[in-house]
Amino acid sequence: MREVVAQVLAGEDAWVVGGAIRDELLGRPVLDLDVVCSEPERAARALIRQAGGDGVFPLSEQFGAWRVVLDRSRTVDFAALQGGSIEADLALRDFTVDAIAVPLAGGEEVDPFGGREDVARRALRPVSESVFDDDPLRLLRAVRLEDELGFRLVPEAEALVRAKAALVTAPAGERVLEELRRLSADGIERLAELGLLEPLGGHVDPRLRAFDSQWYRLAVTFGDGLRRLPIPVDLRRFAQLVLRAEAPPDDSPRSIHRFRKATEPASLEALAYLCRPELIPAVEQARRNDPAEPLLRGDELGIEPGPEVGRLLDRIEEERAAGTISTREEALDLVRRSLE
């Protein structure tokens, strides 16, 4: 990516900055390239013409930033130089490990805050004491970087996070949700430890680690309060299924069928939330046994369309799962007896 971008910006002052440099120092794959240059839009459009890709669009009006999506896993972000120099630009960034720049054309790196040393120490240190006032989302980002990279806030930075914790509710809900969804259970617990979780309406639930998925962690951490965030419809439905689930009385095929009817596709997560992991094998077996085709369709019942059709199809489905019927003829007989 860097070679292609360098060709596009040949002869211009431009720097690779931020996470790409940090990840390179850590030996991590560099999938997202951040470039500071004089004309981000022109650079972005030139790159998409030369390299192709999936699209180009404005990323931030405030900073004149543009993103080029080269494929599903690689992006290049172009942002305008702030403050008149690369040193001034880096002084506006969040943490020292992200305040390192390397000239795109090659040359000495610019590291005015000792970011390289902090990367080696895996230490997370703010560039200045105003970083959280400048953008309160950085409070959550600090925890996410700890969580994803194995870094740790230095003591004075941790104290600053605690002092600024009340600001955590200020960013737009979409930005907050994006940071929260990337946190592991350790990250959620770290939020609570730093005083960042309670202002957001969350708490550390003892069932937090019962299932390993980001949606599950969000649901159990925020409960019904999750609706205050701009969550997608499918996450909203998932949370409702899990939080309102009722445990099946036993692991009989009929009970498991009824439970799945009420909770799929979140049945396993619901069992984790209900503290009933012993029923997971029964649900997994029922999933494997799901028939490819129904025994009967609605237009084969011989009755007028209406609620009764759905009720009968549900009953056929349940009896089939329970093992009392297995053929089309048995299903038709059940329908006839139900209508008598």
Q: What are the extents of the domains in the chain?
A: 1-121, 298-339
Tell me: pLDDT of 333 over 80. Answer: yes
Question: What is the full DSSP assignment across 94-141?
Answer: SBGGG--EEETT----B-TT-HHHHHHHTEE-BSSTTHHHH-THHHHH
Tell me: pLDDT of 339 over 90. Answer: no
What is the pLDDT averaged over residues 223-241?
95
The token pair that represents 148 in the structure block: 């994803």
What is the pLDDT averaged over residues 297-308?
89
The pLDDT value recorded for residue 17 is 93
Residue bearing tokens 């069928």: 257
State percent of the chain over pLDDT 90: 76
Q: Are 72 and 106 in contact (CB under 8 A)?
A: no
Tell me: pLDDT of 199 over 80. Answer: yes
Specify the amino acid at residue 133. Answer: D
State percent of the chain over pLDDT 70: 99
The pLDDT value recorded for residue 2 is 81
What is the pLDDT averaged over residues 231-251?
96
Handedness of CA 322, 328, 330, 331 (dihedral sign): positive
The pLDDT value recorded for residue 330 is 94
Half-sphere exposure of 206 (CA within 13 A, CB side): 2
Tell me: pLDDT of 4 over 90. Answer: no
- Helix (H) or strand (E) segment spanning residue 313: helix 307-322
In tens, the pLDDT along 50-91 reads 877 778 888 876 667 998 888 777 888 999 999 899 999 999
Q: What is the largest CA-CA distance in the chain?
A: 87
pTM (two decimals): 0.88
Give, rounded to a whole angstrom, the gap between the first and last alpha carbons of the chain.
72
In tens, the pLDDT along 99-130 reads 999 999 888 999 999 999 999 999 999 999 99
In tens, the pLDDT along 135-189 reads 999 999 999 999 999 999 999 999 999 999 999 999 999 999 999 999 999 999 9
- As beta bridge partners, residue 36 has 15, 79
d(CA 58, CA 248) in angstroms, rounded, equals 50
The token pair that represents 25 in the structure block: 């120092």
The pLDDT value recorded for residue 101 is 96
- For residue 30, the Cα-to-chain-centroid distance in whole angstroms is 19
The pLDDT value recorded for residue 226 is 94
The pLDDT value recorded for residue 209 is 97
Residue bearing tokens 């692991």: 251
d(CA 205, CA 210) in angstroms, rounded, equals 10
The pLDDT value recorded for residue 220 is 98
What is the pLDDT averaged over residues 257-272?
98
d(CA 84, CA 64) in angstroms, rounded, equals 15
Confidence of residue 304 (pLDDT cuts 50, 70, 90): confident
Query: What's the burial of 71, exposed, middle or buried (CB within 10 Å: 0-12/13-18/19+)?
Result: exposed
User: What is the three-class DSSP state of 212?
Assistant: coil
Beta strands in the chain (DSSP E): 15-17, 32-37, 55-60, 65-71, 74-80, 101-103, 123-124, 152-153
The pLDDT value recorded for residue 105 is 87
The pLDDT value recorded for residue 5 is 86
- Helix (H) or strand (E) segment spanning residue 259: helix 253-263
Task: Kindly report the backbone phi and psi dihedral angles of residue 76, in degrees, each rounded to the nearest multiple of 5, phi listed first.
Answer: -130, 125
d(CA 250, CA 146) in angstroms, rounded, equals 42
Measured from the Cβ of residue 24, the count of other Cβ atoms closer than 10 Å reads 16
d(CA 139, CA 165) in angstroms, rounded, equals 7
Half-sphere exposure of 78 (CA within 13 A, CB side): 28
Mean pLDDT of the chain: 93
Tell me: pLDDT of 48 over 90. Answer: no
Residue bearing tokens 């999506």: 69
Tell me: pLDDT of 225 over 80. Answer: yes
What is the pLDDT averaged over residues 203-229?
96
Q: Are 137 and 60 in contact (CB under 8 A)?
A: no
d(CA 47, CA 34) in angstroms, rounded, equals 13
- The CATH H-level (homologous superfamily) assignment of domain 1-121 is Beta Polymerase, domain 2 (3.30.460.10)
Among 34-48, 121-135, 209-223, where is mean pLDDT lowest?
34-48
Q: Are 296 and 332 in contact (CB under 8 A)?
A: yes
The pLDDT value recorded for residue 201 is 96
